[in-house]
Chains A and B, each alone.
Chain A
Amino acid sequence: MKISCDIDIKHLTRVEGHGNIRIVIQDGQVREARWEVVETPRFFEAILVGKHFENAPYLCGRICGICSIGHTLASIRAVENGFGITPTVQTERLRLLLKHMETLQSHILHIYFLAAPDYLGVGSVLPLTRSHPAVVQQALRLKLLANDICDEVGGRRLHPTRTVVGGFTMLPDRYRLGQFKQRLQASLADLDASVELFRSFSIPDFQRETEFVSLKGDGDYPFIGGDLISTDGVVKQEQEYAAMTNEYMAEWSTSKLSRLSRKSFAVGALARINNNFAGLLPEAKVIAEELGLIPVTARDGLIPGEPGMAGAVNHNPFMNVVAQLVECVQVVLESMQLIDDLLAVPWQEPRQPVAVREGIGVAAVEVPRGILYHCLHLDAAGRVVKADCVIPTSQNHANIRHDIEELAVFCAGQGKKDKEIELLAEMLVRAYDPCISCSVH
Chain B
Amino acid sequence: MTKNKTFLGVPVARPKVGFFELSSCEGCQLQLLNNEATLLDFLSLVEIVRFREGMKEANDEYEIAFVEGSITRADEEERLKIIREKAKLVVALGSCACFGGVNQLKNRFNDLEWVKKEVYGSFPIETQEVKPLSAVIKVDLEIYGCPIKKEEVERIVTALVLGEEIHHPQYPVCMECKARENICLFDLGEPCLGPVTRAGCDAWCPSNRLGCWGCRGPAPEANLARLQIIMAERGISQERMIDRLECFGGFAGFVAEVKANKEESK
CB nearest neighbor in B for A42: B103
Q: Do the beta carbons of A59 and B119 come within 8 Å of each other?
A: no
Q: Does any Cβ of B come within 8 Å of A126's Cβ?
A: yes
Q: Does any Cβ of B come within 8 Å of A270's Cβ?
A: no
Q: Do the beta carbons of B27 and A143 come within 8 Å of each other?
A: no
Listed stretches A151-159, A195-203, A291-299; interface member: A151-159
Q: Does any Cβ of A come within 8 Å of B239's Cβ?
A: yes
Q: Does any Cβ of A come within 8 Å of B197's Cβ?
A: no
Q: Do the beta carbons of A158 and B147 come within 8 Å of each other?
A: yes
Q: Does any Cβ of B come within 8 Å of A254's Cβ?
A: yes
Q: Does any Cβ of A come within 8 Å of B89's Cβ?
A: no
Q: Do the beta carbons of A161 and B204 come within 8 Å of each other?
A: yes
> Known: A46-B109, A52-B243. Is A143-B31 also a contact (CB below 8 A)?
no
Measured in the bound complex, the distance between the Cα atoms of B242 and A51 in whole Å is 11
Q: Does any Cβ of B come within 8 Å of A13's Cβ?
A: yes
Q: Does any Cβ of B come within 8 Å of A144's Cβ?
A: yes
Q: Do the beta carbons of B118 and A46 come within 8 Å of each other?
A: yes
Binary interface encoding of chain B residues 97-129 relative to chain A, with 1 for a CB under 8 A from any of its CBs, else 0: 000011101100100001110111101010100
Interface residues of A in 115-152 (CB under 8 A from B): 117, 123-126, 129, 136, 140-141, 143-144, 147
Chain A residues within 8 Å of B121, by CB: 249
Q: Do the beta carbons of A65 and B28 come within 8 Å of each other?
A: yes
Interface residues of A in 235-282 (CB under 8 A from B): 249, 254
Chain A residues within 8 Å of B23, by CB: 40, 42, 437
Q: Do the beta carbons of B56 and A41 come within 8 Å of each other?
A: no
Q: Do the beta carbons of A126 and B243 come within 8 Å of each other?
A: no
* Sample (19) of A-B pairs whose CB atoms are under 8 Å apart: A13-B56, A16-B53, A40-B72, A41-B72, A43-B106, A43-B115, A46-B106, A52-B239, A62-B25, A64-B27, A65-B29, A109-B33, A123-B56, A124-B57, A147-B34, A147-B36, A156-B204, A158-B27, A162-B208
What residues of chain B have their CB less than 8 Å away from a CB belonging to chain A?
Answer: 21-31, 33-34, 36-37, 39-40, 43, 48, 51-58, 72-73, 76, 101-103, 105-106, 109, 114-116, 118-121, 123, 125, 127, 146-147, 204-205, 208-210, 213, 239-240, 243, 247
Known: A140-B37, A169-B209. 13 other contacts (CB 8 A): A13-B52, A13-B58, A41-B127, A43-B116, A43-B118, A45-B119, A64-B25, A65-B24, A68-B25, A140-B39, A156-B208, A158-B147, A437-B21
